[in-house]
DNA sequence: TTGAAAGCGCTAACAA
DNA sequence: TTGTTAGCGCTTTCAA
């Protein structure tokens, strides 16, 4: 006895209605030009009438390709990654791939879990938003022999493709920009302290040390960043180092929060304190004063990641590569 | 001749290594207690050694259940939805479901496309973030007989389950709050003008009309909202209605942008102009002055949606239901 | 241009 | 407790 079928319309239903075999219908969907015009038109009509939706699971199982790519980001609510996501999504969709998104909550263990999950779903490739992974995750990825793009930061040992920017150089650049602007008692405030933030901090130290300035004014916390936290960190810093004349905040959320705190304290920005952020989110260009920041090419990173992964999916050979997408310092009213 | 196999480790590989049949391995994964302890331990060891990852496509094809649910949101970058997403994700993950996310860009046509795509992926249910859909999308959903939750706003004719809040009543409530606070020449500024914004606008009108106040001070645009747009709209309004004493912005982004514009113009908030937003995003509690807003229970909406969909997936009967999750007016410094 | 047969990796139903 | 058999819906291969 046949198992109860799902009730869904299948290729077979279309085939029967049209009076051809199901291979012909399948072919008509994938390579229409290989089917005679008359048959094609009748098949298309039947598909329309019956509201046929192909079963991708069956297709993927049979062909070994799922036409989907996993995109893992640390956080959904952090708008930094939504730009990357847009770039990836657009590029992959054009090429006929569906993007499946997961968020790791900045945890490499959760990333590992998601890699496992998406491998089980049969994705054809991965876009990751870090270069740091668990050993097991790396083993899974290597074994799967799928194209993998690591984004956001650069690494000397990419798993496969690496698209990002040098976070340390960018941190140094904003430090130097503050120094050039005449500031001398420059602080750093950082939250979350993931790898990228640590790199920015190192860059800030590079700049200050090269100029013979003190790097003591450094306030960090593992807590996730938020506007309010920006205010809290700034308050703590003002208390410890009342002489501070500028602060580089590790991201724009903290910088905006610090700015709001300055407004609350009626502290003039940049008159009494200069502020700089990192990423170039929309808000940096909307506040008053507008915020100096490092504009990171997040959209371009996503687009490039998509482009490269599509190349690989279309047969380009595996050859580790590294793509430095650069960054731009935006000097605004806050410095 | 057998087709080239994928090279991946399969149930069969585990079975051979252990010396049992593959059903036993499959069973061991799904109902471990139905397999003898000795066999179970050896299977678990083999899975570990071989780094076996189940093929979910095959499993789904065979069982008719994919253990995944699609969540469609209008926008990824809009943090309003990231809270909903968190709630949904958490609830569904606990129950063993994977959430697949898509974003519609506020287009019901794109929503239709995504529903089609995710049906092709065999998802077991949908969480949508609106109550408005194309006819075809509704037909697809009805035919699929899957649990569907429509979130965010309420409707009298839910497709299935509806979890949200009455956007119009909320708009009216904030209007009334402004009136109670003594404001009389109250404006409305809105962007995007999706259904929810239209409802909030209608609520604002309700409040003003009930109090015998003019509803002429209404500035809207179909453009997507952003901080900068909030500033632009406010500028336009101040020009047209210089006597305005308060503005209800249809969302917090516009409200924050309007606040920044006031700061730029050295217009005192709330002294010369009061501002109110909608949603209760983090920023409303961080700016100076803090922003009066309507706090929407987005996280709770997501959690409730997850709970209800899981119930249905576990066999609860289809019975259209509507869940009003309410809202809360937060009176802050800006009014 | 079309079709028959085999099989992707898994699970459900039934039998032992 | 374990295994046999059949089939989920599709694509690939090969033949006509």
Give the model confidence (pLDDT) of A91-108 as tens digits: 999 999 999 999 999 999
CA distance B321 to A232: 44
Q: Are B147 and B171 in contact (CB under 8 A)?
A: no
Nearest to A76 among B55, B76, B119 (CB): B76
Residues of A whose CB is below 8 A from B122: 55-57
Give the closest-approach CA distance of B182 to chain A in angstroms.
Answer: 25
Q: Are A115 and A102 in contact (CB under 8 A)?
A: no
Judged against a pLDDT cut of 90, whether residue B210 lies above it is answered with yes
CB contact under 8 A, A286 and B143: no
Average pLDDT, stretch B100-108?
Answer: 95
Show which positions of strand D are touched by protein (CB under 7 A): 1-14
CA distance B209 to B189: 17
Cα A109 from chain centroid (whole Å) = 18
Q: What length is written for chain A?
A: 335
Judged against a pLDDT cut of 50, whether residue B2 lies above it is answered with no
Mean residue pLDDT across chain A? 95
CB contact under 8 A, A286 and B56: no
Q: Are B282 and A228 in contact (CB under 8 A)?
A: yes
Judged against a pLDDT cut of 70, whether residue B5 lies above it is answered with no
- By percentage, how much of chain A surpasses pLDDT 70? 98
Q: What is the spatial distance, in angstroms and rounded to an integer, between the CA atom of A18 and the C1' atom of C4? A: 18
- DSSP per-residue codes, A1-38: -PPPP-S---HHHHHHHHTS-HHHHHHHHH-GGGS-HH
Distances, alpha carbon A321 to alpha carbons A31, A69, A124, A324, B108, in Å? 34, 19, 19, 10, 39
How deeply is B37 buried, as exposed, middle or buried, from its count of CB atoms within 10 A (0-12, 13-18, 19+)?
Answer: exposed
Judged against a pLDDT cut of 90, whether residue A224 lies above it is answered with yes
Judged against a pLDDT cut of 60, whether residue B33 lies above it is answered with yes
Average pLDDT, stretch B82-91?
Answer: 96
CB contact under 8 A, B287 and A82: no
Query: Tell me, what's the pLDDT at B315?
Result: 87
C-alpha dihedral sign at B227, B232, B235, B237: negative
* C14 nearest neighbour residue (CA to C1'): A1
Query: Tell me, what's the pLDDT at B37?
Result: 92
What's the CATH superfamily of A68-166+298-327? Response regulator (3.40.50.2300)
Mean residue pLDDT across chain B? 95
Judged against a pLDDT cut of 80, whether residue A1 lies above it is answered with no
Give the closest-approach CA distance of B65 to chain A in angstroms.
Answer: 10
Confidence of residue B7 (pLDDT cuts 50, 70, 90): confident
Q: Are A161 and A221 in contact (CB under 8 A)?
A: no
Q: Are A99 and A92 in contact (CB under 8 A)?
A: yes
Nearest to B286 among A68, A101, A257 (CB): A257
Query: Tell me, what's the pLDDT at B142?
Result: 94
Query: Tell me, what's the pLDDT at B6?
Result: 67
Q: What is the spatial distance, in angstroms and rounded to an integer, between the CA atom of A95 and the C1' atom of D13? A: 27
Query: Tell me, what's the pLDDT at B280?
Result: 98
Q: Are A155 and A162 in contact (CB under 8 A)?
A: yes
Query: A153 by DSSP, 3-state: which?
Result: strand
Q: What is the spatial distance, in angstroms and rounded to an integer, between the CA atom of A62 and the C1' atom of C8? A: 4
Nearest to A260 among B101, B117, B286 (CB): B286
> What does DSSP say about strands A293-295 and A328-330: parallel, antiparallel, or unpaired?
antiparallel
CATH of region A11-63: 1.10.260
Query: Tell me, what's the pLDDT at B148?
Result: 98
Confidence of residue A315 (pLDDT cuts 50, 70, 90): confident
Give the closest-approach CA distance of B281 to chain A in angstroms.
Answer: 11
Average pLDDT, stretch B239-266?
Answer: 98
Query: Tell me, what's the pLDDT at A2?
Result: 40
Per-residue pLDDT of A115-128, as tens digits, reads 999 999 999 999 99
Residues of A whose CB is below 8 A from B53: 116, 119-120, 140
> What does DSSP say about strands A186-191 and A218-221: parallel, antiparallel, or unpaired?
parallel
CA distance B226 to B52: 47
Per-residue pLDDT of A3-53, as tens digits, reads 446 678 999 999 999 999 999 999 999 999 999 999 999 999 999 999 999
What totals of helices (H) and strands (E) does chain A contain, helices first? 12, 12
Give the residue from A286, A302, A332 with the most B CB atoms within 10 Å of its CB, the best one to mutate. Answer: A286
Confidence of residue B334 (pLDDT cuts 50, 70, 90): very high
Q: What is the spatial distance, in angstroms and rounded to an integer, between the CA atom of A36 and the C1' atom of C3? A: 14
Domain ranges of chain A: 11-63, 68-166+298-327, 167-295
Residues of A whose CB is below 8 A from B77: 79, 82-83, 86
Q: What is the spatial distance, in angstroms and rounded to an integer, between the CA atom of A51 and the C1' atom of C2? A: 24
Nearest to A56 among B51, B76, B121 (CB): B121
Beta bridge partners of A126: A70, A148
Domains B11-63 and B167-295 share a fold: no
Average pLDDT, stretch A134-142?
Answer: 96
B3-7, B35-39, B147-151, B246-250 — which is least confidently predicted? B3-7
Per-residue DSSP letter, A5: P
Give the residue from A10, A288, A289, A333 with the most B CB atoms within 10 Å of its CB, the best one to mutate. Answer: A288
Q: Which fold has domain A167-295?
A: Rossmann fold (3.40.50)
Q: What angle do CA B246, B249, B250 make, to 5 degrees?
A: 145
Nearest to B51 among A68, A140, A228 (CB): A140
Give the closest-approach CA distance of A186 to chain B in angstroms.
Answer: 24
- By percentage, how much of chain B surpasses pLDDT 70? 98
Which chain B residue's Cα is nearest to A116? B53
Query: Tell me, what's the pLDDT at B65?
Result: 94
Q: What angle do CA B177, B179, B185 make, to 5 degrees?
A: 130
Q: What is the spatial distance, in angstroms and rounded to an integer, between the CA atom of A24 and the C1' atom of D16? A: 15
Query: Tell me, what's the pLDDT at B151?
Result: 98
Confidence of residue B77 (pLDDT cuts 50, 70, 90): confident
Nearest to A51 among B143, B260, B282 (CB): B143
Per-residue pLDDT of A60-91, as tens digits, reads 999 999 999 999 999 988 989 999 999 999 99
Q: What is the spatial distance, in angstroms and rounded to an integer, between the CA atom of B100 and the C1' atom of D11? A: 25
**Nearest nucleotide (C1') to the CA of residue A30?**
D11
**Nearest nucleotide (C1') to the CA of residue A22?**
C3
Per-residue pLDDT of A234-272, as tens digits, reads 999 999 999 999 999 999 999 999 999 999 999 999 999
* D14 nearest neighbour residue (CA to C1'): B1
Give the closest-approach CA distance of A122 to chain B in angstroms.
Answer: 7
Judged against a pLDDT cut of 60, whether residue B1 lies above it is answered with no
Give the closest-approach CA distance of A330 to chain B in angstroms.
Answer: 17
Give the residue from B5, B8, B51, B53 with the most A CB atoms within 10 Å of its CB, the best one to mutate. Answer: B53
Per-residue DSSP letter, B139: H
CA distance A329 to A313: 35
């Amino acid at each position: 006895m046949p198992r109860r079928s799902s009730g869904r319309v299948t290729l077979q239903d279309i085939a029967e209605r049209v009076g051809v075999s199901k291979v012909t219908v399948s072919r008509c969907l994938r390579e229409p030009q290989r089917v005679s015009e008359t048959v094609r038109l009748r098949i298309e009509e039947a598909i329309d009438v019956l509201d046929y939706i192909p079963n991708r699971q069956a297709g993927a199982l049979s062909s070994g390709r799922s036409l989907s790519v996993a995109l893992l980001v640390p956080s959904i609510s952090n708008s930094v990654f939504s730009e990357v996501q847009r770039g990836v999504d657009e590029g992959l969709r054009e090429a006929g791939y569906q993007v499946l998104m997961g968020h790791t909550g900045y945890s490499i263990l959760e990333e590992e879990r998601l890699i496992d999950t998406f491998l089980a779903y049969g994705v054809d490739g991965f876009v990751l938003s870090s270069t740091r992974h668990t050993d097991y995750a790396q083993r899974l990825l290597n074994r799967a022999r799928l194209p993998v793009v690591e984004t956001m930061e650069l690494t000397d040992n990419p798993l496969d493709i690496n698209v990002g920017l040098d976070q340390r150089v960018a941190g140094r650049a904003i430090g130097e920009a503050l120094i050039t602007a005449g500031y001398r008692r420059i602080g750093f405030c950082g939250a979350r302290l993931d790898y990228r933030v640590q790199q920015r901090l190192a860059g800030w130290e590079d700049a200050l040390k090269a100029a013979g300035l003190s790097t003591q004014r450094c306030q960090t916390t593992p807590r996730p960043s938020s506007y309010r936290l920006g205010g809290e960190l700034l308050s703590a810093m003002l208390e410890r180092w009342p002489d501070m004349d500028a602060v580089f905040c590790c991201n724009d959320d903290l910088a905006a929060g610090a700015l709001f705190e300055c407004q609350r304290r009626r502290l003039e920005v940049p008159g009494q304190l200069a502020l700089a952020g990192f990423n170039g989110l929309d808000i940096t260009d909307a506040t008053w004063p507008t915020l100096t920041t490092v504009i990171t090419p997040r959209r371009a990173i996503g687009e490039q990641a998509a482009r490269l992964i599509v190349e690989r999916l279309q047969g380009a050979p595996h050859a580790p590569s590294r793509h430095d997408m650069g960054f731009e310092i935006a000097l605004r009213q806050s410095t």
